């Protein structure tokens, strides 16, 4: 099969890989209909994070059709169209049952498998995969794929930020996750949604997804603007969808005491000084999003065409042109790149 | 009047100070019935934190009788017995109304006033002070004084750790706040309460307050024991009541993914590495406790003799012997020292 491998910073190749096989009776093999490049894939691409192997199989987002199942798989059948999260989970342990499937005690990170490929092995298929109500029409594929990571992650950020009626929610980050968080905050009923963005196309999509205010300031200055816009108090909740020291403190400083910071940007070089955090008095919650918690609801909202999160994809390429997809995202020519095997 | 001043590390003196006066029409003057030494007073005493002035007026915990009121004070009258928190608050701003009175937009830290004295000015008296149902009998004074800070702080820690029925709660720290958190977790219905302590007298009081398990391990080892005791998952919630790097990570590591860390130990030298925190996937909430939120309920529980948090005081001294009180706490001969003006 064809699959995407990263050999080093800036060096992405689509090449022949061995077909995956059922290794455990709880595995399924998926024929990938669509996959994509994640903002987190850019960290090793930019040399800001080491590869886990050389070369490393890339990708952790996926939708597709079940091609084969292990002997113990009972919730999905060959031929089912399914969506899964970037973390395989049993969905039965106490952590999963509490809604934290991304930290399942049997978790398998899909990034270690690489779903930017024609086929992918899905561990713990019963717990991981969610069937769509039927065979989706082609125009629903991008939105279902978004649910696999960015939508689910933005949704989690908005839930962690306690977005809801009467609330003012700010979103730090105008990438696919940040934009998805705007959509989520809107859907969850937030009254006012403030987004930080300097990028015209992303500002436009943010407004389409429900943003009420766009700010171009950053860092302490950006946070101060949110405080100013909220009567001196700060936002009720802020979603952090970048992962840098500046963006984390921007999120914390934009939040009122007692408010909620939902942080979903994978941290890079972040150090939180304890006393500053102590006196910020916010709720801080985040980490790898338990997308599986939200998948059934998100799939239904997409199926019913209530939400259209697939709009975050602004470039679609064949899998063989993955390298161009990485380049486009690296250069911010594309927000999110969909790849079709 | 007599008041306690700190001149430098280890140098505490009770001496003559000028009587406080009404400065704002929202002030009250309190005749202090009882005050105490706080664990946080030990930081400058040990030279681990600079003084705010030389000498600095000490103390922020207090119960007593209203001696004088400003023109705009309406909720308390001269002669009322009252309890207040270590932060004066208006109790009307959006932050207060949301239950975060310790971060009121008009907050005044009582530590800047110094309540280890015969008299104390209480700013924002209407918002800050809570009347007891009547004149308390002498044996209730220690418990009412505990409500002013340590009980309210431990209570907040337990609430932030989401202590409740069916939950396993761990408490890091066996000082007065940690012990109060045990009492709170028990009162809030926690099923199992694990306390870290190596101090026999504190272990005994922890058990009396409702601890079910005592652990003598610390740091990563202590956290690992909690994970082991909870089927490999970690506690549902952990109260951090120390404020050091080791204790913070002990609390975070002892908490299951998706669980709750309530941190109330004032941070000293704590740096939280972002990626470690990201993958811990806990809820982190804390800071200076909004004691005022809980005071009416705590005063009633004490009045009804449902709880006896005053047991954390194991040494009572006249105000003039404050220096010995600081020494006893510094040397861990006393858990908490009550001072009577």
Structure tokens at A3: 């699959």
3-state helix, strand, coil in chain B (%, to 5): 35, 25, 40
pLDDT in tens, B105-119: 999 999 889 999 999
Identify the pLDDT of residue A272.
97
- Nearest CA-CA distance, residue B137 and chain A, Å: 36
pLDDT in tens, A16-55: 999 999 999 999 999 999 999 998 899 999 998 999 999 9
- Nearest CA-CA distance, residue B101 and chain A, Å: 9
Q: Which residues contact A39 (CB under 8 A, 6 or more apart)?
A: A175, A176, A177, A329, A336
CA angle B146, B35, B270 (to 5 degrees): 65
| Average pLDDT over every residue of B188-217 | 97
Confidence of residue A160 (pLDDT cuts 50, 70, 90): very high
pLDDT in tens, A51-108: 999 999 999 999 999 999 999 999 999 999 999 999 999 999 999 999 999 999 999 9
Q: Which residues contact A335 (CB under 8 A, 6 or more apart)?
A: A175, A176, A179, A201, A202, A205, A312, A313, A314, A329
Instruction: Please indicate whether, in this complex, the C-beta atoms of A274 and B95 are within 8 angstroms of each other.
Output: no
Helix (H) or strand (E) segment spanning residue B133: none
At B184 the three-state DSSP class reads helix
| Average pLDDT over every residue of B66-74 | 98
Contacts of residue B287 in chain A, CB cutoff 8 Å? 257, 277-281
Cβ contact A117:A107 at 8 Å: no
Identify the pLDDT of residue B85.
95
Instruction: Please indicate whether, in this complex, the C-beta atoms of B278 and A271 are within 8 angstroms of each other.
Output: no
Confidence of residue A9 (pLDDT cuts 50, 70, 90): very high
Q: What is the DSSP letter of A31?
A: E
Instruction: Please indicate whether, in this complex, the C-beta atoms of A278 and B263 are within 8 angstroms of each other.
Output: yes
Identify the pLDDT of residue B90.
98
| CATH architecture of structural domain A153-286 | 3-Layer(aba) Sandwich (3.40)
Structure tokens at A339: 């790849």
- Nearest CA-CA distance, residue A104 and chain B, Å: 9
Q: Which residues contact A273 (CB under 8 A, 6 or more apart)?
A: B267, B270, B271
Structure tokens at A257: 């005491």
Q: Provide the terminal-to-terminal Cα distance of chain B, rounded to the nearest Å.
A: 10
Buried b (16+ CB within 10 A) or exposed e, B147-186: bbbbbbbbbbbbbbbbbbeebbbbbbbbbbbbbbbbbbbb
Identify the pLDDT of residue A192.
98
B154-286 in CATH: which number? Answer: 3.40.50.720
Q: Which of B245, B275, B283 comes nearest A267 by C-beta?
A: B275
Largest CA distance in chain B: 60
Confidence of residue B187 (pLDDT cuts 50, 70, 90): very high
Contacts of residue B252 in chain A, CB cutoff 8 Å? none
CA angle B21, B22, B27 (to 5 degrees): 135
Give CA–CA dist A135/A83, Å, rounded.
12
Contacts of residue A273 in chain B, CB cutoff 8 Å? 267, 270-271
Confidence of residue A167 (pLDDT cuts 50, 70, 90): very high
Contacts of residue B278 in chain A, CB cutoff 8 Å? 263, 266-267, 286-288
Identify the pLDDT of residue A126.
98
Structure tokens at A268: 């890079």
Identify the pLDDT of residue B141.
98
Confidence of residue A180 (pLDDT cuts 50, 70, 90): very high
Q: Provide the terminal-to-terminal Cα distance of chain A, rounded to the nearest Å.
A: 10
Identify the pLDDT of residue A273.
97
Q: What average pLDDT does chain A have?
A: 97
Buried b (16+ CB within 10 A) or exposed e, A236-268: bbbbbbbbbbebbbbbbbbbbbbbbbbbbbbbb
Place of tokens 């342990």: A93
Instruction: Please indicate whether, in this complex, the C-beta atoms of A94 and B263 are within 8 angstroms of each other.
Output: no
Identify the pLDDT of residue B156.
98
Mutate to test the interface with B, among A278, A288, A289 (most CBs of B within 10 A): A278
Contacts of residue B161 in chain A, CB cutoff 8 Å? none
Identify the pLDDT of residue B150.
96
Give CA–CA dist A331/B87, Å, rounded.
50
pLDDT in tens, B72-122: 999 999 999 999 999 999 999 999 999 999 999 999 999 889 999 999 999
Structure tokens at B312: 């954390």
Backbone angles phi, psi at B162, to 5 degrees: 55, 45
Q: In A37-73, at which residue ranges do the beta strands (DSSP E only) sit?
A: 56-57, 63-69
pLDDT in tens, B17-35: 999 999 999 999 999 999 9
Cβ contact B123:B24 at 8 Å: yes
Q: Please state whether beta strands A28-36 and A63-69 pair in parallel, antiparallel, or not at all (unpaired).
A: antiparallel
- Nearest CA-CA distance, residue B150 and chain A, Å: 17
| CATH architecture of structural domain A2-149+290-340 | Alpha-Beta Complex (3.90)
| Average pLDDT over every residue of A102-116 | 95
pLDDT in tens, A211-270: 999 999 999 999 999 999 999 999 999 999 999 999 999 999 999 999 999 999 999 999
Listed by start position, the domains of chain A span 2-149+290-340, 153-286
Contacts of residue B279 in chain A, CB cutoff 8 Å? 103, 287-288
Q: Which of B248, B258, B279 comes nearest A274 by C-beta?
A: B248
C-alpha pair distances (Å), A287 with each of A156, A195, A311, B257, B295: 9, 21, 24, 9, 34
Give CA–CA dist B195/B181, Å, rounded.
10
Buried b (16+ CB within 10 A) or exposed e, A183-194: bbbbbbebebbb
Contacts of residue A100 in chain B, CB cutoff 8 Å? 257-258, 281
Confidence of residue A275 (pLDDT cuts 50, 70, 90): very high
Chain A residues with CB within 8 Å of chain B CB: 94-95, 98-100, 102-103, 105, 231-233, 243, 245, 248, 256-258, 263, 266-275, 277-288, 290
Cis peptide before A55 (omega within 30 of 0): yes
Q: What average pLDDT does chain B have?
A: 97
Instruction: Please indicate whether, in this complex, the C-beta atoms of B271 and A274 are within 8 angstroms of each other.
Output: yes
pLDDT in tens, B230-248: 999 999 999 999 999 999 9
């Amino acid at each position: 099969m064809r699959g995407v491998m990263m050999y080093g910073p800036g060096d992405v190749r689509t090449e022949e890989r061995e077909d995956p096989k059922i290794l455990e009776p709880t595995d399924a093999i998926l024929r990938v209909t669509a996959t994509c490049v994640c903002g987190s894939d850019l960290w090793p691409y930019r040399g800001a994070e080491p590869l886990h192997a050389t070369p490393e199989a890339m990708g952790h987002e996926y939708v597709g059709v079940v091609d084969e199942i292990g002997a113990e798989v009972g919730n999905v059948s060959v031929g089912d169209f399914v969506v899964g999260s970037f973390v395989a989970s049993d969905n039965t342990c106490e952590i999963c049952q509490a809604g934290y499937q991304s930290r399942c005690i049997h978790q398998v990170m899909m990034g270690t498998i690489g779903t930017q490929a024609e086929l992918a092995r899905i561990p713990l298929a019963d717990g991981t995969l969610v069937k769509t109500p039927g065979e989706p029409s082609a125009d629903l594929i991008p939105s279902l794929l978004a649910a696999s990571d960015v939508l689910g992650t933005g949704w989690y950020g908005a839930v962690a930020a306690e977005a809801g009626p009467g609330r003012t929610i700010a979103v730090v980050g105008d990438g696919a996750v940040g934009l998805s968080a705007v959509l989520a905050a809107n859907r969850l009923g937030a009254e006012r949604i403030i987004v930080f963005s300097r990028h015209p196309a992303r500002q436009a999509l943010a407004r389409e997804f429900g943003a009420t205010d766009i700010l171009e300031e950053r860092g302490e200055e950006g946070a101060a603007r949110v405080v100013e816009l909220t009567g001196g108090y700060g936002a009720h909740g802020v979603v952090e969808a970048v992962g840098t020291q500046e963006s984390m403190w921007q999120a914390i400083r934009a939040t009122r005491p007692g408010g909620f910071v939902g942080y979903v940007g994978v941290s890079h070089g972040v150090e939180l000084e304890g006393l500053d955090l102590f006196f910020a008095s916010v709720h801080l919650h985040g980490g790898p999003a338990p997308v599986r918690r939200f998948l059934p609801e998100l799939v239904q909202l997409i199926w019913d065409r209530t939400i259209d999160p697939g709009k975050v994809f602004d470039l679609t390429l064949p899998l063989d042109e993955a390298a161009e997809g990485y380049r486009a995202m690296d250069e911010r020519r594309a927000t999110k790149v969909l790849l079709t095997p």
